[in-house]
Copies of this chain bind each other. A is one copy, B any other.
Amino acid sequence: MISAMGPAPTRAAGSVGPVETRYADLPDPIDLDCGRRLTQVRVAYETYGTLSPERDNVILVCHALSGDAHAAGRSATSTDSTRDGFGAEDRDGAGTQGLGWWDGMIGPGKAFDTDRFFVVSTNLLGGCRGTTGPSSVNPETGRPYGSDFPVVTVADMVRTERAFLATLGIERLAAVAGGSLGGMQALQWAVQYPDRVGAVVAIASTHALHAQGLAWNAIARDAIMRDPDWQGGHYHGTGRAPSAGMGVARMVGHVTYLSSDAMTDRFGRGLQSSDDVRYTITDAEFQVESYLRHQAGTFVKRFDANTYLYTSRALTYFDLARQHGDGSLAKALEGVTARTLLIAFSSDWLYPPSASRDVEEALLGLGKPVEFHVIDAPYGHDCFLLEEARQTPIIRRFLSA
């Protein structure tokens, strides 16, 4: 039942209130894995809660492919919501306007409790929501980078986050947390800056995407790049953008974020028209067809196609064993000092529990502290955005230890 999709939080929990995204210009260039160097990097960010005098209560929250810095509270400047995931509109109704994508998880009394922690959220490197990315102006040419933007990795995103935090005077994180690509960033932090991370919360994530996940991402990227309006990646300023292709990419993504059972429960074979089929090729006939087109339409309005390409590429490249362990995940994780919390969802076939289990087993084998929970939930990968009530006590307990 859709009404039961996002169970209400079990405790009264507050909101961080109205928030405004801010911007920081990094003083130094970022040296990237690809060998190139990015200068004049700007980072969009928000913060929730209060930084302790010791600066020891910082949690960095990292977003997934389609998110941004606005993770919690209500935007003071926009009614757009980056709240996402299956059924978000139904769950929040009109109240969704301006809410951050993880508002159910961040706030006073919530999983990431702003009464205790200073939560920082940034738009990732390569993004299109304020942080430097392909749609930003290339200082060398005065025009948007487009596909001249360097190919960035999850490690580059983490480097940028680290450099940004330094501008706030923050040198060490109590925890770093995220789901999906955000979880990859969290794991990367633990490997890349082991002495700067106290705890990792990686939800619905993986140390390396499986072959089918690579395939879905490749199809989504190809859908964008095959759109003639992509123009080799230099569509900025032409008045045309590869919206048709990115709509297809989004639809592919969306189906991979859901479970088949959840789609059956929600849509079944329900028709758009009340009675019978209308014998049409072009029109949406089934409710699920209409739903997907709607999802595609809203997404292309708020998201940049090149950012989709770069972010998708980064998450397919991510492979801790290859990048840090000569092919061995255990070797890659040898230096980790953070306590690690892994959460996966039983119906998530894109980032299946087995991927988190690989990480758990590697950490256990190294004698490192790790906790792994598989939440039995039916909504697929989107559970990390939906199953707030059941994640909350697990995360609160972990962060209190």
Contacts and interface: CB of A to CB of B under 8 A. Distances in A.
Contacts of A309: 281
A341 B270 CA distance: 29
Most buried by B among A211, A219, A282, A317: A211
Given A211-B267, A269-B319, A218 B288 contact: yes
11 contacts: A211-B267, A212-B263, A214-B286, A215-B255, A216-B255, A219-B251, A219-B252, A219-B292, A221-B281, A222-B248, A227-B244
Contacts of A284: 218
Interface of A: 33-35, 147, 150-151, 208-212, 214-216, 218-219, 221-223, 225-228, 233, 244-245, 247-248, 251-252, 255, 258, 260, 263-264, 266-269, 277, 279-282, 284-286, 288-289, 292-293, 296, 309-310, 313, 316-317, 319, 322, 349
A268 to B, nearest CB: 6
Contacts of A214: 267, 269, 286, 288-289
Contacts of A251: 215, 218-219, 222
A216 B258 CA distance: 12
A226 to B, nearest CB: 4
A255 B213 CA distance: 10
A15 to B, nearest CB: 34
A145 to B, nearest CB: 12
> Main SS of the interface on chain A?
helix
B279 A33 contact: yes
Nearest to A266: B211
Nearest to A33: B279
Nearest to A244: B226
Nearest to A134: B281
B260 A212 contact: yes
B211 A260 contact: yes
B264 A210 contact: yes
A245 B227 CA distance: 8
B151 A208 contact: no
Contact of A248 (B150, B151, B226, B268): B226
Nearest to A233: B281
B293 A281 contact: no
B289 A208 contact: no
A309 B264 CA distance: 23
Contacts of A282: 147, 225
Nearest to A217: B289
Nearest to A36: B279
